[in-house]
Chains A and B, each alone.
Chain A
C-alpha cells in the first residue's frame, strides 16, 4: 500500500508552500523528506495527515484512526506524566486493554525510569522519544514524524531510529522529515525538498548514480567554479571537462547530490 502526496499544491498566506510535489510513502519503508528551514517539509507532513488542505492535487492517507503524527514541537502534554500521556492517547484512539502495549513502548523507548515524570521535565531527547511512542501507540498504518531528531544527541537519535525502523519492519509506512543529509541516507527512499519543490527523489544509490558531472576533492579550491568546504579540504563539482591536476575524483554522497541539485536550481533560477 502506498500513501502520500500527488501533485500537491499548498498556499499559505498567499505564499506557495508546496508547488506540485509528489511524495509517495510506501508501507514497510522509511521515506525521508530532507530540506532546510522553509523548504516545505512541515507543510508536506501536515498536508499528509490532514492538518492542511491542499489547493490542488491528491492526498492519500488511511482513516484518521490509522495515522500517527508527531508535530515538530513533539506534541506531548508537558503537565502530564509519561504514562499519562500514553494513556490519554490510548483512550483517544479507543485502544482496548492498552496497558501492556504502553509498557512495551515505555521499555523500548528507554523511558522506564521516567515513567511517572512530567513530560515537561524530560530532556529534549526523552520528550521526542515519548512523542514517537505516542504516535506509534495506535499501531498506525501511516506514521508521520516531523523533525523528530532536531536538537537530539547521537544516542537519542540512534534510539529513535531503532523505533522508526522497528515500525517499518512491522509494515508501517513511515515519513520522517529532517534537515540532515547523513540522517536522510538511512531512509529507504529520500525526497529532497527545496522552496516547495522536489529537488531530487529516489534511493540513495539512485541519486548518487544520477549526479551529472563529477565530484572532486582538493586542497586548492581556486581552480573550481563550484566548490564548498568539507572539513579541512574542499569539494567541488565539475559539470564537464577534466579535473584540475591537484584534484581527485571522489564518489559522491547524498550531501554532494543535494548541493549539486541546489546549485543547478539556482543556476536555472538566475537564467530565467
Chain B
C-alpha cells in the first residue's frame, strides 16, 4: 500500500500543472472572487433637474451622489440620460413636487434607490417614483443578456478549442497541412461553422429570453448584432489560442473553464462592477464579456443607441483584432512546415 502512496505523490510532483491547479488556483479564486462578491451599493449616480433643482440637491444624501444639477433639463431629457447610461437615478423637480426616475436595468442600484426613497418619504411626501426599463425589477430581464454572452463563450471558446485540439490529436491537422489548402483556408474553414452555430445559439437564447422571461428588446437589433459579432470573434480567437497551447482535450477543457469562471463572476453580470474592489474591477475590465454585457443590456433593456455604446464596442473591436490576429498567426505557423533552428554541430 505504501508503494502506491509513494508512487502517487511522485506522479503528483511531476505533473506541475495539476499541482498548481490543486494548490494555487483555489487560493487565487477565493481572493479574487471574495473581493468581487459584493452586492453593496456605495454610489448611485444621481442627476437633479427641474425648476427646484438647487433646493432639492441639499436633500440628496448617501448613497446618492449628485453628478449633475441642471434646472433647465426637462423630464424627457432626463429619461434620455438614463437610457444612455449616464445616470442611475434622475430627480425631476416641479413647482408642486418631484418625480424620481430610476434605471431598472441596474438591479441592485435600483433596489437601493427605492429603499432610499422610502426613508426620505417624510421629507418628500409628494415624491412620485417611476422605475424605467424594468418596472418590476425582474432579475431575469437583467440577467438574460449577460447569460446569452456566457453561452456564446461556451460555444466559442470551449467547442472551438476542442474542435482544433481533436484535429491535432488525431493527426488530421497534419493531413490538412499536406492537402492543397492554404493556411487561412484551413483556419476560416475550421472556425466558420462554430461562428454560425454560435450565432444561431445567440438568436435562440435571446428569443427564448424574450418569450419566456419577458425580456424587452427596446433597441436596435443591428447594434446588438455588431456587438455580438465582435464578441464572437474574441471568444473564437481565445478558443484557437487555448487549442494551440493544449496538448489534449482535457487540458483544453481545463483552460476554457478557467476563462469562463472569471467571466461569470467578474464581468458585472452578477456582481455590479462598481461594487468591486478596484484591483478586481480592473480584472473585470480585461474581460470581453464585461463589454458584451454592457452592449446587450444597453440595447435590449434600455434601448440605448450605438452612439452611447461606442466605448464597449470599440474595446471589443480592439480585443477582437488582437486576439483573432494572434490566433491566425499561431495557427498558420502550425500548418506551415516546421521551422528548424540550426544550433548543433
A residues whose Cβ falls under 8 Å from a Cβ of B: 10-12, 14-16, 46, 49-56, 64-65, 67, 69, 71-78, 89, 92-94, 134
Contact = CB atoms under 8 A, between A and B. Distances in A.
Contact of A75 (B174, B337, B343, B344): B174
* B interface secondary structure, majority: loop
B179 A75 contact: no
B177 interface: yes
B180 A65 contact: yes
Given A51-B337, A51-B338, 13 more contacts: A11-B340, A11-B342, A14-B344, A50-B337, A51-B174, A52-B338, A53-B337, A53-B338, A56-B342, A77-B170, A92-B180, A93-B180, A134-B175
B172 A75 contact: yes
Q: Choose among B170, B337, B338, B340 the residue with the greatest number of A CB atoms under 10 Å from its CB.
A: B340
28 contacts: A10-B340, A11-B341, A11-B342, A12-B338, A15-B344, A16-B344, A46-B174, A49-B178, A51-B337, A51-B338, A52-B338, A53-B337, A53-B338, A55-B340, A55-B342, A56-B342, A65-B180, A69-B178, A71-B174, A72-B171, A74-B171, A78-B170, A92-B179, A92-B180, A92-B181, A93-B179, A94-B180, A134-B175
B16 interface: no
Contacts of B171: 71-75
A11 B178 contact: no
Contacts of A73: 170-171
B339 interface: yes
B34 to A, nearest CB: 42
Contacts of B177: 51
Nearest to B185: A92
B179 A54 contact: no
Interface of B: 170-172, 174-175, 177-181, 337-344
A52 B340 contact: yes
Contacts of B341: 11, 14
Nearest to B175: A75
Contacts of B180: 64-65, 92-94
A49 B344 CA distance: 24
Given A73-B170, A75-B170, A54 B340 contact: yes
A134 B178 CA distance: 12
A75 B179 CA distance: 12
A53 B340 CA distance: 7
B74 to A, nearest CB: 62
Contacts of B178: 49-51, 64, 67, 69
Q: Which 10 A-B pairs have the closest CB atoms?
A: A73-B171, A75-B175, A53-B337, A71-B171, A69-B178, A92-B179, A65-B180, A55-B342, A64-B180, A52-B338
A140 to B, nearest CB: 10
B26 to A, nearest CB: 34
Contacts of A51: 174, 177-178, 337-338
A101 B341 CA distance: 42
Contact of B340 (A12, A49, A94): A12
Contacts of A65: 180
B202 to A, nearest CB: 25
Nearest to A134: B175
